[in-house]
């Protein structure tokens, strides 16, 4: 039996109810976060909270918790109820419930849902994945972690049906990011390239950690968008997300990357990120 948190209560997942007039349900009018936990400890909590608060402010949704600590208490209680130590949680905040109308009332109370989930083994994926390319069909505020993910869902599905693990999206011939992850390449000079953090990408928490770790390890990071030509010439490529960490890429469309071997920089960052997350367990 799995429990979730819903608007102040802990409920069995199958007993949790949300109104048909929830604005998330009707309009995708809400935001979310996916957070990891290891050994019962939340990872990168402050970074996720910072992004969550920014998303809420951008959508003018009021904060449903007085401070991040009260949310932390709720989450730790949920982990205990579900008897889970390692995994992920999904936290969704919608604008709330109101009679269906595009205009939103000013005094509406947000709906909050939190549930935990686990991922299967990443062993095979960590050996390297393939990536397709497609036009970026999304809106101009990809920096908001909105629950409106239709373009991402459709492109990921299309890629999957053609045998690709992830799909990188292009805007004006420049790679923005994957449908569920951030995109990186390493060029011949061992410089790491990734799209700058602006309204065209979701500023990933893992992206931030990886950049920080790369800089700490004297690697050069250039936050500048790259194109298909750069991909053809690159030495290494990888993607990042909370649920995957750092994942090597061995093929992008028809371009084989690094003879399908995990590059040194990718391998280093995979290890550094893992160490960095493990260190948080004891903080």
Report the interface residues with ligand PDD, using CB under 6 A. 34, 152, 177, 180-182, 202, 204-207, 240-243
Q: 41 or 51, CB closer to ligand PDD?
A: 51
Pairing mode, strands 255-256 and 245-252: antiparallel
Task: Give least dist CB 13 to ligand PDD, A.
Answer: 18
Q: 177 or 236, CB closer to ligand PDD?
A: 177
Q: 153 or 256, CB closer to ligand PDD?
A: 153
Task: Give least dist CB 174 to ligand PDD, A.
Answer: 15
CB within 8 Å of 38: residues ≥ 6 apart: 85, 86, 277, 278, 280, 281
CB within 8 Å of 46: residues ≥ 6 apart: 68
Task: Give least dist CB 92 to ligand PDD, A.
Answer: 11
Residue 145 among the catalytic residues: yes
Task: Give least dist CB 71 to ligand PDD, A.
Answer: 17
CA distance 260 to 32: 35
Which listed residue (41, 47, 145, 156) is catalytic?
Answer: 145
* Whether the Cβ atoms of residue 37 and residue 86 lie closer than 8 Å to each other: yes
Task: Give least dist CB 101 to ligand PDD, A.
Answer: 28
Task: Give least dist CB 33 to ligand PDD, A.
Answer: 8
Which residue, judged by CB position, is nearest to ligand PDD in the bound state? 204
Going by C-alpha positions, the residue among 99, 27, 94 that lies closest to residue 61 is 94
What backbone phi and psi angles, to 5 degrees, belong to 41?
Answer: -110, 130
Q: 97 or 238, CB closer to ligand PDD?
A: 238
Q: 42 or 98, CB closer to ligand PDD?
A: 42
Q: 97 or 155, CB closer to ligand PDD?
A: 155
Q: Find how far residue 271's CA is from the centre of its chain.
A: 19
Residues with catalytic roles = 145
């Amino acid at each position: 039996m799995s429990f979730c948190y819903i608007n102040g209560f802990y409920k069995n997942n199958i007993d949790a109810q949300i109104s048909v007039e929830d604005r998330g349900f009707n309009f995708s009018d809400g935001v979310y976060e996916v957070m990891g936990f290891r050994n019962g400890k939340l990872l990168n909590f402050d970074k996720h909270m910072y992004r969550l608060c920014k998303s809420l402010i951008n959508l003018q949704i009021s904060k449903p918790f007085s401070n991040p600590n009260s949310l932390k208490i709720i989450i730790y209680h949920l982990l205990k109820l579900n008897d889970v130590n390692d995994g992920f949680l999904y936290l969704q905040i919608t604008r709330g419930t109101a009679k269906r109308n595009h205009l939103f009332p000013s005094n509406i109370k947000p709906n909050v849902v939190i549930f935990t989930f686990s991922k299967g083994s990443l062993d095979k994926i960590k050996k390297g994945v393939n990536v397709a390319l497609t036009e970026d069909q999304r809106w101009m505020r990809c920096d908001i972690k909105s629950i409106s993910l239709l373009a991402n869902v459709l492109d990921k599905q299309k890629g999957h049906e053609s045998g690709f693990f992830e799909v990188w999206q292009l805007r004006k011939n420049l790679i923005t990011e994957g449908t569920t992850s951030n995109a990186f390449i390493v060029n011949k000079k061992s410089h790491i390239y990734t799209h700058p953090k602006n309204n065209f990408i979701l500023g990933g928490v893992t992206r931030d950690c990886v950049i920080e770790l790369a800089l700490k390890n004297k690697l050069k990071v250039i936050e500048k968008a790259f194109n298909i030509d750069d991909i053809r010439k690159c030495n290494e490529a990888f993607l990042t997300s909370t649920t995957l960490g750092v994942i090597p890429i061995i093929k992008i469309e028809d371009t084989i990357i690094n003879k399908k071997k995990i590059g040194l920089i990718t391998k280093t960052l995979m290890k550094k990120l893992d160490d960095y997350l493990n260190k948080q367990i004891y903080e």
